Amino acid sequence: MLFKQQALLRQKLFVLGSLAIGSLLYLVARVGSLDRLQPLCPIDGRFATRGQDEIPLRALQFKRGLLHEFRKGNATKEQIRLHNLVQQLPKAIIIGVRKGGTRALLEMLNLHPAVVKASQEIHFFDNDENYAKGIEWYRKKMPFSYPHQITIEKSPAYFITEEVPERIYKMNSSIKLLIIVREPTTRAISDYTQVLEGKERKNKTYYKFEKLAIDPNTCEVNTKYKAVRTSIYTKHLERWLKYFPIEQFHIVDGDRLITEPLPELQLVEKFLNLPPRISQYNLYFNATRGFYCLRFNIVFNKCLAGSKGRIHPEVDTSVITKLRKFFHPFNQKFYQITGRTFNWP
Ligand code: A3P
């Protein structure tokens, strides 16, 4: 009898213990995904304009995994239909600027449950051959998403390519345009560093930055050098303003995105009429990389590739001073047009 009671007690303790461990594991798992486990809102809130309904968020973590599989091309047509997945044209595009932090911005925005990124740069609007393939070709390049989500793509060459504003306007005249900028001289050196690395990889030699940035005949800034021209932000923006009002642009501070990404991302959420969902939990500083990295949940996090955050070569200070002086009036104009002022020298 006593033996039977003891066995029963042991059994009960075992069940209670299992329940306690199960609950604990569940809680631990949830901590990592609290941001993403928001209640699901009604299905048909689209990319709302200001004042209208916010974009509803999908709720369940597992759906993100499912979507990931679909994006990798592991979905059958039936699964796509069943889950109501679509390939949508972007509602917002990161149009530039090259080396401004375009990849970091895209990846960080992708932390938002209502955002789906196009992983590759599509180069639809700046490449004549691609553009000739038509808008359906472009749409088919987009990732699968739920109808209430928004797709974002980034192709930094759009910002400086002559034909692009008109082409994007023809696709969607109310599209939202994101431009991420850095202090122009730093951006130009970053641009140079990328090209230099490409040459070195092919065992080629290359000029020093100073030689490219300064015209040896006049000793003035060489405005024919592409890395310099790209940093004259106002010149490019003025071309875009022939098609889109300034309200359709949002300027992201690329230098601040490096040191303090969250407030910059919150401004973008606001601009895109997205409910604030990216939190400090999603961003952690990785001392080894020297940059913020991304945390999606308790198990999944990632840093950007090593090609982001290169060490810049030392540049002669007189050349830096000359460049900064050269960019100064263009910067002033850029602040005036955009309404966003930076502490650039
Ligand atoms: P550097 O390589 O000059 O440091 P893009 O993606 O437009 O090519 O921009 C690259 C720049 O993104 C890098 O320039 C780097 O400074 C910046 N960046 C911003 N946030 C970053 C992050 N979290 N991780 C790595 N690079 C980041």
pLDDT, tens digit (0-9, with 9 covering 90-100), for 2-12: 455 666 566 66
Q: Specify the amino acid at residue 8.
A: L
Q: Give the C-alpha separation, 186 to 206, whole Å.
A: 19
CA distances from 148 to 45, 54, 56, 76, 266 (A): 6, 10, 6, 21, 20
Q: Is 103 annotated as a binding residue?
A: yes
Q: Is 333 annotated as a binding residue?
A: no
72 — pLDDT class (breaks 50, 70, 90): low
Name which residue sits closest to atom 20 of ligand 1, judged by CA: 258
The strand order across the sheet containing 283-286 reads 283-286, 291-295, 301-302
Q: DSSP letters along 31-76, please?
A: HTTTTT-PPP--TT--SPPTTSPPPP----HHHHHHHHHHHTT---
Q: Give the C-alpha separation, 103 to 120, whole Å.
A: 10
Contact present, 109 and 265 (Cβ < 8 Å): yes
Q: Could you report the per-residue pLDDT of 304-331, keeping only the tens digit for each?
A: 999 999 999 999 999 999 999 999 999 9
Q: How far is the CA of 237 from the centre of ligand 1 (A)?
A: 22
Token pair for residue 62? Answer: 């597992």
Q: Is residue 336 exposed (0-12), middle (13-18) or buried (19+ Cβ within 10 Å)?
A: exposed
Q: Specify the amino acid at residue 206.
A: Y
Name the region of 318 (left: φ>0; alpha: ψ -120 to 50; beta: rest): alpha
64 — pLDDT class (breaks 50, 70, 90): low
Q: How far is the CA of 302 from the centre of ligand 1 (A)?
A: 14
Per-residue pLDDT, 140: 96
Question: Is 226 among the catalytic positions?
Answer: no
Per-residue pLDDT, 65: 57
Of 39-53, 122-136, 137-151, 202-216, least confident by mean pLDDT is 39-53
Q: Give the C-alpha separation, 161 to 129, whole Å.
A: 14
- Domain 85-338, what fold? Rossmann fold (3.40.50)
77 — pLDDT class (breaks 50, 70, 90): confident
What is the average pLDDT across 107-126?
97
Token pair for residue 220? Answer: 């003035």
How many other C-beta atoms can be found within 10 angstroms of the C-beta atom of residue 178? 22
Mean of pLDDT over the chain: 85
Find the catalytic residue in 12, 63, 91, 99: 99
Collapsing DSSP to helix, strand or coil, 6 comes out as helix
Q: How far is the CA of 109 from the centre of ligand 1 (A)?
A: 15
Per-residue pLDDT, 106: 98
